[in-house]
A = this chain, B = another copy of it.
Amino acid sequence: MELTVYLAGQIHDDWRNELKEKARQKDLPLHFVGPQENHERSDNIGEDILGEQPNSIHRDDAASSINNFRTEVLLQKSDAVIALFGEKYKQWNTAMDASAAIQLNKPLILIRPESLVHPLKELSNQANVTVESMDQALEVLAYIYE
């Protein structure tokens, strides 16, 4: 049974490829999807497609409408969601995607460092499983196939 997993979280480092590589090594029948990981492309996508916007507010709004379209299409195709929080950045769309996953009945694994236990406590309490590392998240996914 193949499963599709949406990888929510920041796009400032290479964590998704690292996680995909680990999954490949475990030979799990998982298919991963997620947001645009090229940060600059993600920020520019509105003007790239729609042309120059009058100011930075509308530039951000144009980009986010296309990023949200992508997320909504892929989230609805997913069987489970992993949301990763790192120590940097505000990561509010990670929180937004995680909460959307909960409301849409997409089982959710939250990855967060111990330093974020307190500010993420309400979200952690609603997630199905909360772990501290990608390895643990993959073990949870692997457990489905045992």
Contact B33 A69 (CB under 8 A): no
User: Of residues 79 to 135 in A, which have CB atoms within 8 Å of B's CB atoms?
Assistant: 79-80, 85, 89-93, 95-100, 102-105, 107, 109, 114, 116-126, 128-132
Closest to A58 in B: B58
Contact A74 B125 (CB under 8 A): no
Query: Hey, which chain B residues are within 8 Å of A55, CB to CB?
Result: 54
Query: Hey, which chain B residues are within 8 Å of A57, CB to CB?
Result: 114, 117
Binding site for B on A (CB under 8 A): 1, 3-4, 31, 33, 36, 38, 41, 45, 48-50, 54-58, 60-61, 63-74, 76-77, 79-80, 85, 89-93, 95-100, 102-105, 107, 109, 114, 116-126, 128-132, 136, 139-140, 143-144, 146
